[in-house]
């Protein structure tokens, strides 16, 4: 949790970064031998904001009265249902500390992926807006000044400049129309984001608009590997771990591949081989899993695969940004250069004619 959390409203769930920090703090307390009730009490005493104190008080009161941690978290309405279920499993299996540690790492990776996607999307959008603003100012404000100068000097306006001036007049109305359109789209996105189904549709639209298939697969692999690491650390068997991981990934092609992998395992197939054949992991990643499964260190192998998948998605996002940046700069330079040449060439010709 962070210090700028809004007051407890019973509706807004904690974001992934807040969930990661909460799980990390609680896991450290429990690892040191402090029971759940005392751990929550310490977190309540150390809360840095009124919002955090309000939330932790809602958790502490049921726990103090003998309720389970998972039940207390569920009653607040601020924690996702899958997190509550995993903590319940951790309590039943006696692996609460391991589950909390795995949850913290899972939400940390989710937060990192979300942040990278936002940055990757926002950068080209901001660049396009800057380009549009510069061109709008040039054709609607600068070119009319040159038109008036040419008229005062008795010079004829060249066809390219005249066309750009007309474009400048039209661009005012075009800009107003685009502004209204953007406002409508932003309002629609805000309304959709209020519901889980709407957020899912927005995510699919963003995937198709900004990300190619390879990048989508890399991001899905990273999320799946992180989810599987969480499930296996909680003591779930492979079939149940795959089922719960599919719930976290959501609907889509990757979720269908998870179902196929689960079917192969139920018929006696090995998970590393099934994961490779269904495209859940690459050959190298499946090889690491196979070695881990054979040596009895399944959880460590899955953690390593999750780290590799996270690095792969980071690299692909970085490459995408590196491709977009020079393209936008070239477009901006060519557009501005065209406008300036259309103004300067007639001016140079006129100055040459009068012997300047």
pLDDT tens digits, residue range 240-263?
A: 888 878 777 766 667 788 888 888
Q: Does a structural domain hold residue 100? A: no
- Of 353, 338, 356, whose CA–CA distance to 155 is shortest? 353
- Gyration radius of the chain over CA positions: 28
Q: What is the mean pLDDT of the segment spanning 206-210? A: 54
Q: Does a structural domain hold residue 104? A: no
Q: How confident is the model at residue 76 (pLDDT cuts 50, 70, 90)?
A: confident
Both 131 and 216 in one domain: the answer is yes
Q: What is the mean pLDDT of the segment spanning 322-332? A: 71
pLDDT score of 164? 57
pLDDT score of 43? 87
Q: How confident is the model at residue 162 (pLDDT cuts 50, 70, 90)?
A: low
Q: Does a structural domain hold residue 92? A: no
Say how many domains are in the chain: 2
pLDDT score of 126? 72
Both 142 and 277 in one domain: the answer is yes
CA dihedral 39, 41, 42, 47 (to 10 degrees): 120
Q: What is the mean pLDDT of the segment spanning 195-220? A: 63
Dihedral sign for Cα atoms in the order 215, 204, 111, 84 = negative
Write out pLDDT tens, residues 13-48: 788 888 999 999 999 988 888 888 888 888 888 888
Both 123 and 74 in one domain: the answer is no
Separation of alpha carbons 212 and 107, rounded Å: 24
Write out pLDDT tens, residues 87-136: 888 887 788 888 888 888 888 877 887 777 777 667 666 766 776 677 66
Both 224 and 286 in one domain: the answer is yes
pLDDT score of 1? 44
pLDDT score of 5? 39
Q: How far is CA 249 from CA 64, 78, 117, 208, 224, in A?
A: 35, 20, 16, 17, 7
Could you identify the residue written with the tokens 């319940």? 88
CB of 346 within 8 A of CB of 155? yes
Q: Does a structural domain hold residue 226? A: yes
Q: Does a structural domain hold residue 1? A: no
Domain boundary among 79, 100, 124: 79
Both 235 and 334 in one domain: the answer is yes
Both 56 and 156 in one domain: the answer is no
Q: Is the pLDDT of residue 67 over 80?
A: yes
Q: Does a structural domain hold residue 146? A: yes
CB of 304 within 8 A of CB of 288? yes
Q: Is the pLDDT of residue 11 over 60?
A: no
Terminal-to-terminal C-alpha distance of the chain: 69
Residue 142: domain span? 109-356
Q: What is the mean pLDDT of the segment spanning 202-206? A: 61
Separation of alpha carbons 310 and 83, rounded Å: 21
Both 268 and 225 in one domain: the answer is yes
Q: Work out the mean pLDDT of the chain and round it to a whole number.
A: 75
- The tokens of 343 are what? 């103004």
Both 55 and 133 in one domain: the answer is no
| Total Cβ atoms within 10 A of residue 220 | 23
| Whole-prediction pTM | 0.62
Q: Does a structural domain hold residue 34? A: yes
């Amino acid at each position: 949790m962070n210090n700028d959390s809004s007051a407890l409203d019973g509706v807004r769930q904690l974001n992934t970064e807040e969930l990661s920090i909460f799980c990390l703090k609680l896991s450290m307390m429990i690892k040191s031998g402090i029971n759940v009730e005392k751990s929550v009490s310490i977190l309540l005493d150390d809360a840095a904001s009124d919002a955090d104190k309000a939330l932790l008080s809602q958790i502490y009161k049921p726990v103090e009265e003998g309720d389970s941690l998972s039940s207390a978290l569920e009653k607040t309405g601020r924690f996702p249902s899958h997190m509550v279920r995993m903590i319940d499993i951790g309590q039943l299996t006696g692996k609460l500390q391991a589950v909390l540690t795995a949850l913290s790492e899972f939400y940390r990776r989710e937060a990192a992926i979300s942040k990278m996607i936002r940055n990757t999307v926002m950068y080209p959008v901001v660049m396009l807006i800057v380009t549009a603003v510069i061109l709008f100012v040039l054709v609607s404000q600068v070119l009319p000044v040159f038109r008036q100068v040419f008229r005062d000097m008795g010079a004829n306006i060249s066809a390219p400049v005249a066309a750009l001036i007309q474009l400048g007049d039209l661009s005012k109305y075009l800009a107003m129309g685009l502004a209204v359109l953007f406002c409508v789209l932003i309002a629609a996105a805000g309304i959709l984001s209020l519901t889980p189904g709407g957020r899912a549709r927005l995510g699919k639209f963003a995937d198709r608009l900004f990300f190619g298939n390879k990048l989508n697969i890399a991001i899905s692999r990273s999320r799946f590997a992180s989810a599987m690491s969480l499930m296996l650390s909680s003591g779930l068997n492979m079939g149940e771990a795959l089922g719960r991981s599919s719930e976290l990934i959501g609907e889509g092609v990757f979720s269908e591949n998870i179902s196929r992998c689960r079917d192969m395992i139920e018929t006696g197939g090995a998970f590393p081989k099934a994961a490779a054949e269904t495209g859940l992991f690459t050959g190298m990643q499946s090889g690491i899993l196979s070695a881990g499964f054979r040596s009895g260190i399944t959880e460590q192998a899955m953690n390593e695969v999750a780290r590799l998948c996270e690095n792969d998605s980071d690299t692909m996002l970085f490459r995408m940004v590196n491709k977009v940046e020079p393209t936008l700069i070239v477009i901006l330079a060519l557009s501005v250069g065209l406008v300036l040449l259309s103004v300067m060439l007639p001016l140079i010709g006129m100055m040459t004619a009068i012997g300047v």
